[in-house]
Structure 1
Amino acid sequence: MIELFRTSMEEVFRETFGEAPRECADLPRVEGYMAQIPFEEGEKAYMARVWVEKPALRRLADLLLFDDDPDHETMEDLTAELANFIVGRAKMVASDRALPYRMGTPRYEGLGRLEEAEGTILYDVEGHCIALQIKESHA
């Protein structure tokens, strides 16, 4: 499943940032914007969390919204939308591979530090990280 999301993130990066993503070398130690989106793959339920450093999110706002000085509400909305892009692209990749997959609605979670966790994908955008963490949901 991680491979599915790695493919998804790489495609979103190429289309959104116009460049192939580079992996972040180290886990960032700063606060970032977080959003979560539930999804199911077959019978298993998961939660995807997207974490974005503020400068990377500001760059995304400039690219997508032509807003080089986004307010906090815009940053919140954009974080949830980025989660939707990535998980939605994973849904398309899963569909192309005839894999069962359903996704829920993204929800902004706030500002916070990225915790070390298994299943973390880290990519670099102009020297700042974007992370995706996948964990099984036991709901």
Structure 2
Amino acid sequence: MNNILYQSCENFAKSLGIDIVKCNDDNIKGFVSEVDIKGDLNYKVYVVLPKEKLDMVSEIFFGDTNYDIEDLSKEIANLIVGNANVVASEKNINFDISIPKFLGEYKNLEYDDKICLKSNGIKFFVLYKEE
């Protein structure tokens, strides 16, 4: 799952014209949206985005930073996990994804593994837990 989610994050970053690098950090902060994966793989995926990352994406998408935190958080989670579905299908792994749910600011979530990514000095996280 790690490789599928990482590749989908890379694809998302490329669509924005930014570079991302893996990082190693346990200091998880930001707004959380959850997407469930059901099918050949069954996971809860949590995309955690700090306000600075949301500001950056909003500036790229809309040309300003006037946005709804919940809507933008869910849209980014949908784009990342939706692309993971495409990446997985290329490997003959099939699953459906749920509509993203906004969980608010990060508070200790149970997860099996995480991906820490950084772009323009701003970290964000993708956490996942097998169901």
Cα deviation per residue 1:64-108 (whole Å; 9 max; x = unaligned)?
Answer: 12222x25xx11111011110110001111122221211111011
Question: 1:27·1:116 contact (CA, 8 Å) conserved in 2?
Answer: no
Of the three residues 37, 40, 44, the one matched with 1:39 is 37
Question: 1:58·1:75 contact (CA, 8 Å) conserved in 2?
Answer: no
Alignment gaps of 5+ in structure 2: none
Question: After TM superposition, what 4+ stretches of structure 1 lie above 6 angstroms from structure 2?
Answer: none
User: Quick one: distance in 2 between partners of 1:128 and 1:113?
Assistant: 19
- 1:32, CA displacement in angstroms? 0.9
Aligned pairs (5 A) from 1:1-139 = 1-16=1-16, 18-28=17-27, 31-42=29-40, 44-68=41-65, 70-71=66-67, 74-113=68-107, 117-137=111-131
User: Quick one: distance in 1 between partners of 2:43 and 2:111?
Assistant: 14
User: Are the structure 2 counterparts of residues 75 and 56 from structure 1 closer, same or farther at C-alpha, using a change threshold of 3 Å?
Assistant: same
Aligned length: 131
Question: 1:121·1:132 contact (CA, 8 Å) conserved in 2?
Answer: yes
User: Are the structure 2 counterparts of residues 25 and 2 from structure 1 closer, same or farther at C-alpha, using a change threshold of 3 Å?
Assistant: closer
User: Are the structure 2 counterparts of residues 113 and 53 from structure 1 closer, same or farther at C-alpha, using a change threshold of 3 Å?
Assistant: farther
3-state SS of the aligned residue for 1:34? Answer: strand
Question: 1:41·1:101 contact (CA, 8 Å) conserved in 2?
Answer: yes
- 1:125, CA displacement in angstroms? 2.2
- 1:116, CA displacement in angstroms? 8.3
3-state SS of the aligned residue for 1:57? Answer: helix
User: Quick one: distance in 1 between partners of 2:58 and 2:84?
Assistant: 22
- 1:133, CA displacement in angstroms? 0.6
- 1:13, CA displacement in angstroms? 0.9
Alignment gaps of 5+ in structure 1: none
Matching residue's letter, 2:76: L
Identity across aligned pairs (percent)?
A: 24
Question: 1:28·1:129 contact (CA, 8 Å) conserved in 2?
Answer: no
